[in-house]
Amino acid sequence: MADHKVLFIQGEDGKEVTLAALPSGVLISDALTGAGIEIGQPCGGQGRCGRCVVQIKSGKIRRRSTLRLSPEDVENGYALACQSVIEGDAEVIIPIQEKIERKLTTERSVADVTIPAGYDFLFSQNIRTIPLSLIPPSMDDQTDDWNRLKTAIRTSTGIENITPSLHFLQTMGEKLRVANWEITAILDDSINNNYPGWLIKLLPGKLTSDESIWALAVDIGTTTVTVWLVDIASGVLRDKASEYNGQISRGEDVISRIVYASKENGAEDLQRRVVETINNLIDIVCKRNKITHDQIIKSVIVGNSTMIHLLTGIPSASIRYSPFITAVNELPVLSAREIGLNIYSDAVIDCLPGIASYVGADITAGVLSSGMYETEKLTLFMDVGTNGEIVLGNRDWLVSCACSAGPAFEGAGVGDGMRATHGAIEEVWINGKTYEPTIRVIGGVKPKGICGSGLISLLAELFMAGVIDKAGNVNIHLDSPRVKRGDTGGEYIVVFADETSKGKDITITRVDIDNLLRAKAAIFAGFTVLAEQVGVVLEDAEQILIGGSFGKYINVEKAIQIGLLPDVPWERFQFLGNTAILGAYHALLSTEQRKKVTSIASNLTYIELSADNTFYEAFMSAMFLPHTDLNRFPSVKAELLKD
Ligand code: FES
């Protein structure tokens, strides 16, 4: 196989990197990754998103797919890095990559998180601190160190069944002797009753009652990772930090990540990236609170099932294919060392249980913190992020499903879509007579795209103003310079090029509208199927709890107008923020709450929508604005009849 020399020119600073000896058939994306050059692959290298575009200046490159490129793009030398192979010497320009802004939550005010009522370290915690005075060994007492310690713990607490790690045993003897046999043993006592107690650490002497004991609650979102630093001695949440999941450049949704993980070294790359993200956040909270990494002795982790598999290096491929089975829903207790978290090496890692491939620990934790499992009220709980997960029920029963809504409401799959950061249009109003829009932009700067809340708002306004009909067709006959016929159908220009930061129109196209309709239809069909399965009327839900960061910003009125949310009085909606991390925090603090998560996971009935015939029907009915059956949306009907 011939070896080729390829010169990569990086758009940002014109830096040139030459890779010699590349064999024929190597993908450009793999060559770049191998050379440590970052190139975003939002769809995981499936050729679907068109965002890994490079420009071939010269040389022999073969394009396997040009699905997301126009004929002019190809003529101008553009190629998808994930779909183009090297077949000879070449020169390739890598355009400036979309920067993912770091979004660290630096606020230290934690007023919105209160310590659970009645929290008491001694009675609420799994973590036990056991002061011990051991009788040193002698010629008359030849008991080994481990049995000496175990006996002392049993005598002091009655706990028999405990496990040390090999590392614990390797360091135990020296610690006992240096401390002159006066020590405090820190133990996690039977985390979820299925496993023996975990011996974490030996500290010299005795802990004073005012000493902090540090632990973490961690939420691994597909998009954002959040870490809370908690002093479990007092229960106080001391600090929060979050940033984008470092895996994003390898796929924006879980399916893209699973696809990427199946590539050579893909799973290792994804695991390294998420561990690095968490470790960066740990560095930040340790520094800000002047503690060492070794002082952190436990972490409760939540995330969707794919995120937990990728974190732990467990193959995730089976999640993607029918019958959609995880390798494991409830992991045994792990140590920090096993997954590479930079806290005390024998710290307990407790990944909360999930229930299925697409309803993971983030949802069981959300059900816990939302309190829906103990209310009489018929409750609909939804967490719309990169995935849409829904739970319906009350204290007597719970059913759940996941809709493959796709990341449209996070700005992906929409030409001018973007995440909710600086420069994103987050709200739109359209004048019903002139069809002129008014927009609100995050940061008050020139806009560069539209984020999820902006897209919901835009779709609703276009519909209510009569720019699009209920099937999403743009009325190109309107007397407005903003409507035009594009390649795929009618389009509406939200912002003209000279008013944007990128010098190009910000437009919503027919394809964008279809993607948004599909996303909202999938979610609404999920609601409908769950309600039908248990024989309740969706609109009878007495409370609708919305978790996840997405919920914080959506305008309920507009989400109802497009048929994303059921048409019930607004006061029934509550926005709970990140319910997943709150659930992790509660499970970290309380033995009782931890047991409840296990019981929620075993009592939650999961409905696999792809196996449900009624789903397709419900989905097709919801593909209209707001729905084929307008009577299900009386407030929207009344508004439309007014005009
Ligand atoms: S098209 Fe290449 S990563 Fe999506």
Ligand 1 center to 62 CA (angstroms)? 16
Q: List every span in the chain annotated with CATH 3.10.20.30.
A: 3-94
Lowest-pLDDT choice from 73-87, 100-114, 302-316, 444-458: 100-114
Q: Does 283 have pLDDT greater than 70?
A: yes
Q: Report, as an integer, the average pLDDT of 12-39.
A: 83
The Cα 452–Cα 244 span in angstroms is 16
Give ∠ CA 451-453-458 in degrees, rounded to 5.
Answer: 90
- Confidence band (pLDDT; 50, 70, 90) for 502? confident
Write the pLDDT tens digit of every residue in 449-493: 998 889 999 999 999 999 999 999 999 999 999 999 988 899 999
Spatial contact of 569 and 427, defined as CB atoms under 8 Å apart:
no
User: DSSP of 457-524, one letter per residue?
Assistant: HHHHHHHHTTSB-TT--B-TTSS-TTEEE-SSSEEEEEE-GGGSSSSS-EEE-HHHHHHHHHHHHHHH
Ligand 1 neighbourhood includes 388 CB (under 6 angstroms):
no
Ligand 1 center to 251 CA (angstroms)? 9
The Cα 369–Cα 367 span in angstroms is 6
Q: Does 507 have pLDDT greater than 50?
A: yes
Ligand 1 neighbourhood includes 47 CB (under 6 angstroms):
yes
pLDDT at 106: 39
232's enclosing H/E stretch is none
Q: List every span in the chain annotated with CATH 3.10.20.880.
A: 122-204
Spatial contact of 456 and 450, defined as CB atoms under 8 Å apart:
no
Residue bearing the bigger pLDDT, 170 or 413: 170
Lowest-pLDDT choice from 70-74, 217-221, 293-297: 70-74
What is the rounded average pLDDT for all residues in the chain?
89
pLDDT at 16: 84
Ligand 1 neighbourhood includes 39 CB (under 6 angstroms):
no
Q: Does 117 have pLDDT greater than 90?
A: no
Q: Does 213 have pLDDT greater than 90?
A: yes
Ligand 1 center to 489 CA (angstroms)? 24
Write the pLDDT tens digit of every residue in 322-338: 889 999 999 988 999 99
- Confidence band (pLDDT; 50, 70, 90) for 253? confident
Q: Report, as an integer, the average pLDDT of 118-129.
A: 90
Pocket test for ligand 1, best of 28, 38, 43, 84 (most atoms within 8 A of CB): 43
Q: List every span in the chain annotated with CATH 3.30.420.480.
A: 214-361
pLDDT at 406: 66
Instruction: From the CA of 50, give the closest atom in ligand 1.
Output: 1
Ligand 1 center to 505 CA (angstroms)? 23
Ligand 1 center to 47 CA (angstroms)? 4
**CATH architecture, range 122-204:** Roll (3.10)
Q: Are strands 379-384 and 543-547 parallel, antiparallel or unpaired?
A: parallel
- Confidence band (pLDDT; 50, 70, 90) for 285? very high
Ligand 1 center to 487 CA (angstroms)? 21
Ligand 1 neighbourhood includes 42 CB (under 6 angstroms):
yes
**CATH classification of 369-407+516-642, choosing from 3.40.1130, 2.60.120, 3.30.420, 2.60.40?**
3.30.420
pLDDT at 641: 85
Residue bearing the bigger pLDDT, 88 or 548: 88
Q: Are strands 379-384 and 398-403 parallel, antiparallel or unpaired?
A: unpaired
Lowest-pLDDT choice from 128-142, 353-367, 370-384, 598-612: 598-612
| Residue with token string 């794919």 | 306
Q: Which of 579, 526, 264, 574 is nearest to 401 (CA)?
A: 526
Q: Which amino acid is at 383?
A: D
Query: According to CATH, what is the number of the domain 214-361?
Result: 3.30.420.480
Instruction: From the CA of 47, give the closest atom in ligand 1.
Output: 1
Model pTM? 0.84
Q: Does 139 have pLDDT greater than 60?
A: yes
pLDDT at 191: 59
Q: Are strands 182-188 and 197-204 parallel, antiparallel or unpaired?
A: antiparallel
Residue located nearest, by CA, to atom 1 of ligand 1: 47
Ligand 1 neighbourhood includes 413 CB (under 6 angstroms):
no
User: DSSP of 595-639, one letter per residue?
Assistant: HHHHHHHHHEEE--GGG-HHHHHHHHHTTSSS-S-GGG-HHHHHH
pLDDT at 110: 42
pLDDT at 179: 96
pLDDT at 111: 46
Lowest-pLDDT choice from 13-22, 268-277, 356-365, 604-613: 13-22
- Confidence band (pLDDT; 50, 70, 90) for 65? confident
DSSP 590: -
Share of the chain above pLDDT 90, in %: 63
Q: Which amino acid is at 306?
A: T
pLDDT at 170: 95
Q: Report, as an integer, the average pLDDT of 276-294.
A: 97
- Confidence band (pLDDT; 50, 70, 90) for 552? low
| Pair of tokens at residue 459 | 């779709």
- Confidence band (pLDDT; 50, 70, 90) for 237? very high
Ligand 1 center to 300 CA (angstroms)? 34
Ligand 1 center to 33 CA (angstroms)? 14
Q: Which CATH superfamily is domain 3-94 in?
A: Beta-grasp domain (3.10.20.30)
- Confidence band (pLDDT; 50, 70, 90) for 103? very low
Write the pLDDT tens digit of every residue in 150-192: 999 999 988 888 888 999 999 999 999 999 999 999 999 865 5
